[in-house]
Chain A
Amino acid sequence: MNKSAVEKIVENGVRFLSELFPQKTYLYFPLLSAFIVWAVRRNREWKEKILSWKVWLHPGFVEAKPDEFILDFFKRSQALNKAYQDEIKKAKIKSLRMAFGRLYPILGLEDPFLSALFAQELESGDYRKIVKDFEERVSRAKKDIESMKREKRLLEGLNTLADEVLSLHLDLISQANLRKILADLVKKHIKK
């Protein structure tokens, strides 16, 4: 992978986002990360992901899972097992189910936007904070993205970036690694 080329894309992305939305820096990384991951994986499906928030957050999958599926989800991940050992041990299904609703789209389905929105917590393994802040942060991001969607230049800018991303063969690296690289780059360019 050509890291300097990725860095250039991120630099351009941060620049045009900061021109359009100078007050919304917290969304730069989730937006760019989700957009790049989708651009890589789904060959330009990113636009739909960015524009169709409704589809994105309510994708129509069956959310009611059996208890054993939920327990299994927490038990099989070392980090989750550790974080929720008390609930797992005492089989506190009610509170595990509540946490599952927030963590499954991020850690199970690997939603790129949500993963990036909670990147800090994921890195530090603070899953309880994700569960606690989920509703508030997601609804804030939803509101902000709704207003961003009205800005035509957002799509124009992302369109240019998409062409650059597709030429880099980023599909050769994992989503988690890609997110890590992007997080560092976005942080660096926001500071600039």
Chain B
Amino acid sequence: MTDKYLLSIRKKSFFLIFLFSFLFLSACVSHLKEAKYYYAQGQKFSRSYQTEKAVSSFKRALREAELEAEKHASAQAYMLKGMVELELELWEEAEESFVEAFSYGFEKAEAWAEEVSLLGLALSFQELGLEDSAFKIYAYLVNKSKLKGILQLVSQRYTDMLLERALHKKAKEGEKSLAQALKSAQKLANNDLSYGFYHYLLSQIYSHLSEHKNSFEEAVMAKELGLPTEKIFRDNDLQIIFCYQKLKENMSSEEWEKFHSSCLRWVKKWNWQDPETPGWKKR
């Protein structure tokens, strides 16, 4: 009887230990898994301009990554936490996370932390009106960074500053700035051809170079590949319209006929009222 009783207790204990271990392990796995899941969801929503859903997913991913880092600190947990913080523009926190990821053996994280720290510095410089210092950092990061979250912001600021300089400098120096902007955006687009934002930058630069056909094509590509915010999306639409009008003025009738018919196909696809009225600009 006693043996049987002891055996039963042992069985129960084993079962409980097994159950607790399973629950414990699954909880561990689930924080990391959940963090990855919500991070991916956030990126998905972000691509379709559902900003609120994207932010909410990133915040959820951050909570899960924090729990994972708290319970099972690892390079992966901190790296994921840092990536989510980048999406939420929490620069200081992201820097700390990458430093932690480095301390747990993820070697690349040290460089990432450095990049985030530099970005924070550049943003502060720009806010304080120290444009030249900010520009130097943007130029450094746009060539060096591999982090998409950093690259998008940096490439926009860098391009904008170069275009601004081109507008205010004498002809020759202005040309140099434009060439520099073009080279940098082309490099970014070649490295990540499917990222619409870089084509948007190219379209803007071509517009400064009065290359309206190229600007139009890049803007169409940007629209087709998707853009990160509604405002950029609208700005890009207005660029398409501007190029359309310029080409209409400057093309020969034969060239125009050909261009116009292909343009109308896009207009139909986008569900625009006509080539000069996008869907969001109802008149």
Contact = CB atoms under 8 A, between A and B. Distances in A.
A119 to B, nearest CB: 18
A41 B56 CA distance: 19
A68 B282 contact: no
B283 interface: yes
Size class of the A contact interface (CB-based, 8 Å): 20 to 34
Nearest to B201: A62
Given A48-B52, A66-B207, A60 B229 contact: yes
Given A110-B280, A110-B281, A61 B231 contact: yes
B235 A175 contact: no
Given A41-B280, A109-B238, A62 B49 contact: no
Contacts of A41: 280
A69 interface: yes
Contacts of B224: none
Contacts of A66: 167, 207-208, 210
Interface in A49-82: 49, 52, 55, 59-69, 72, 76
Interface string A145-181: 0000000000000000000000000000111000000
Interface in A67-103: 67-69, 72, 76
Interface string A5-32: 0000000000000000000000000000
A175 B160 contact: no
B231 A60 contact: yes
B238 A108 contact: yes
A38 to B, nearest CB: 9
Contacts of B160: 62-64
Nearest to B54: A48
B163 interface: yes
A137 interface: no
A48 B55 contact: yes
Interface of B: 49-53, 55, 152-153, 156, 159-160, 163-164, 166-167, 200-201, 204, 207-208, 210, 228-232, 234-235, 238, 242, 245-246, 280-283
A111 B53 CA distance: 20
A43 interface: yes
Could you tell me the dominant secondary structure of chain B's interface residues? helix
Contacts of A72: 242, 245
Contacts of B242: 69, 72
Given A49-B51, A63-B160, A69-B242, 5 more contacts: A62-B156, A64-B163, A66-B208, A105-B231, A175-B280
B204 A62 contact: yes
B207 A69 contact: yes
B232 A59 contact: yes
Contacts of A109: 231, 234-235, 238
A64 B178 CA distance: 12
A108 B210 CA distance: 20
B175 to A, nearest CB: 13
Contacts of B204: 62, 65
A46 B52 CA distance: 8
Nearest to A178: B282
A47 interface: yes
Contact of A42 (B50, B200, B208, B234): B50
Interface in A110-126: 110-111
